[in-house]
Structure 1
Amino acid sequence: MAKSSKVRNPLSVLAEDPQGGSPGLELPPGALIDRPGRRGWWKEPEPLLWVSDDAVGVGALAAYRSSALAAAGLQAVLLQGRPGLERWWQERELVPERMSDPDDHHVEPVLREFWSRVVPDPEEGEGEDGEGLIAPFGRAWPGLAERGPDGVDPEGAACALADELIASGFLPSPRLALVPAGRGADVPTALGWGGPTNFENDTALISAVLRSWEDRFGARVVALGFDELHVSVAAPPRTTAHALPVAAEHFAFSPDNIWQGSGSIRAYADEAVTGSNHWGFWWD
């Protein structure tokens, strides 16, 4: 029986043409970054991502976030450095070989497990304060939130948020990146991104949740920082009643948003979920 041929990396076309002239991409100056690991004469380097040399401005994501590019297996996102880690994607911070496959995980068991890690435990002295933090929910996993109402075009919302974050200075020096992935939710896993590593070191679980948010809320990954994730939302909850279970999912997914931010699920639902087209997450 003949062996199946290896699937060609969609970034390979940029190996000798990093501006993508031959496929008609007309990219800004940039370069490929190879997958980490041992190299030798017997093994050709494999590109992990392409990143622009310089920061990009308003309109950059919209220029390259197309259905044709996605059909070719490439997802366009923004990467943002931070002081001391201006180019963290070049500093051996990406470990794709450690990640499992998002196809192997289902959102509800993932979030239920995350929830069990972060809900306050009365036996450890987390009494009334803990109850107030997760109210109106108890220690039992509250279940998945209902899908969002009809919203705007998800890709249009992603590009609009990117422009808003750049224009406001929220992303002061973003780089354009192209990542081989079948869908935007899988970009963190495809990169081997370690942003949540102090909470969860298998980013495939993070992608499993992002996939569900794509389907339920028109969410799209817009930007990644060293330990930050920014997602656009085309169909956010419009009422507090709908936003509360979404806020519970966010607490399970990224507890620092509440532990070191809003202080309670109720406050977070009002401040960061209801009607919001931008869901931002960070892990300390």
Structure 2
Amino acid sequence: MIAHPPLPAEVQVLFVDGDAVGRTLSVPLPPGQAVVSDEGNGDGPVLWLSARSPESGLWARLRAEHGRSGLWPLLLQAHDVDDDEFRPWGAGELFPAGMSKPQGHDPAALLAGWWADHTTVAEDVDMLPPAERLAVTAPYGRDWPGLAPSADRGNDPDRVADDLADELLAVFSKLRLGLVAADRGSDALTVAGWVGPLNHTNDTAEISAVVADWERRFGVRVVGVGFATLDLSVAAPPTTHEQALAVAAEHFAFCPDNVWQGREPCTLTAYAERLVGERSWSFWWD
């Protein structure tokens, strides 16, 4: 049996009540530091942040170590690529104390409620006539179609996630590595106190609950997180337009800006066409 060294001291502080005991990490880390929330809750650091962009393949090695380390890796992007503070991560604009627990939420109920909110026609503020407004979510209109069925998983979720990590590093030159003490990637969003979807929900645990359900149904993995963006790998994407339309409805409920402010035409049907066979899902909240 190979003996692995314990967690580095600057990473051990991510675990409370001595939970780091017995955890190991054989992968060398680049220079970095633990980040404390600027809300001053006194609970200690919420994540570890590298000082520079990680090398290709490091995310995958850390992901493979998650079972021993209890640390989920994230590729983090700043609000502004030239921001020396690397907001929100380096500036500590992270608020875990204000979050509930992901396990306390029903993903199906959350999505149904958000769908109802986003398909309600508010004639006093809506810029579109009611008929055009409801045409955006055709063929469903205001009728919530329910959760999309689980898809057949023909790909290894971890391998697909590793590939997306390398793709993100190739596209974005100033990503940094984050490590969060979380049981899985979906939980890491809440544990870190990320508030990117603040204009959609002020409780990131709700976002984590839905993503956790996608982890189960579609082999999703959390890979990249920005100021208000989220990049997920998908091992079991929809393979037909019918399947994709049901998934698109969930995406609209989860992040309506993906459709409202996405590529034209800004309709659920057009958005669904882009989901067929797509192994990554990206979200952006205005």
Aligned match of 1:161: 164
Aligned match of 1:278: 280
1:77 equivalenced with 2:59 (yes/no): no
**1:16 to 1:204, Cα distance in 2 relative to 1, 3 A:** closer
Aligned match of 2:191: 190
The answer on whether the counterparts of 1:230 and 1:281 sit within 8 Å (CA) in structure 2 is yes
Q: C-alpha distance in 1, partners of 2:207/2:163?
A: 24
Identity across matched positions, percent: 43
Superposition pairs for residues 102-117 of structure 1, below 5 Å? Answer: 102-117=102-117
Aligned match of 2:3: none
* Equivalent residue for 2:56, pick from 55, 58, 61: 58
Aligned match of 2:176: 175
Q: What is the Cα-based RMSD across aligned positions, in Å?
A: 2.4
Q: Which amino acid aligns with 1:119?
A: T
Superposition pairs for residues 139-150 of structure 1, below 5 Å? Answer: 139-150=142-153
The answer on whether the counterparts of 2:102 and 2:208 sit within 8 Å (CA) in structure 1 is yes
Superposition pairs for residues 243-254 of structure 1, below 5 Å? Answer: 243-254=244-255
The answer on whether the counterparts of 1:11 and 1:180 sit within 8 Å (CA) in structure 2 is no
Aligned match of 1:94: 94
Query: Any idea what SS the aligned residue of 2:136 has?
Result: helix
Deviations, residues 198-243 of structure 1 (Å, cap 9, x unaligned): 1111000000100010000000100000010000000000000000
Greater share of residues in helix: 1
**1:239 to 1:31, Cα distance in 2 relative to 1, 3 A:** same
Aligned match of 1:3: none
Q: May I ask how many residue pairs the two structures share in their alignment?
A: 265
Aligned match of 2:238: 237
Q: C-alpha distance in 2, partners of 1:164/1:157?
A: 11
The answer on whether the counterparts of 1:11 and 1:47 sit within 8 Å (CA) in structure 2 is no
Question: How many Å apart are 1:165 and its aligned residue?
Answer: 2.1
Question: How many Å apart are 1:29 and its aligned residue?
Answer: 1.1
Query: Any idea what SS the aligned residue of 1:164 has?
Result: helix
Deviations, residues 226-271 of structure 1 (Å, cap 9, x unaligned): 0100000000000000000100000000001111114000000012
The answer on whether the counterparts of 1:120 and 1:130 sit within 8 Å (CA) in structure 2 is no
Deviations, residues 71-95 of structure 1 (Å, cap 9, x unaligned): 4321011101132646111223200
- Which ranges in structure 1 are unaligned for 5 or more consecutive residues? 1-9
**1:283 to 1:23, Cα distance in 2 relative to 1, 3 A:** closer
The answer on whether the counterparts of 1:56 and 1:173 sit within 8 Å (CA) in structure 2 is no
Aligned match of 2:10: 14
Deviations, residues 95-133 of structure 1 (Å, cap 9, x unaligned): 000000001001110101111111142755642212220
The answer on whether the counterparts of 2:39 and 2:95 sit within 8 Å (CA) in structure 1 is no
Aligned match of 1:6: none
The answer on whether the counterparts of 1:229 and 1:282 sit within 8 Å (CA) in structure 2 is yes
With structure 1 as the length reference, what TM-score do the two structures score?
Answer: 0.86
Question: How many Å apart are 1:15 and its aligned residue?
Answer: 5.3
Q: C-alpha distance in 1, partners of 2:119/2:11?
A: 47
Question: How many Å apart are 1:134 and its aligned residue?
Answer: 0.3
* Equivalent residue for 2:33, pick from 31, 34, 38: 31
The answer on whether the counterparts of 1:158 and 1:233 sit within 8 Å (CA) in structure 2 is yes
Query: Any idea what SS the aligned residue of 1:134 has?
Result: coil
Q: C-alpha distance in 2, partners of 1:200/1:63?
A: 33
Question: How many Å apart are 1:23 and its aligned residue?
Answer: 4.2
Q: C-alpha distance in 1, partners of 2:69/2:26?
A: 12
The answer on whether the counterparts of 1:34 and 1:46 sit within 8 Å (CA) in structure 2 is yes
With structure 2 as the length reference, what TM-score do the two structures score?
Answer: 0.85
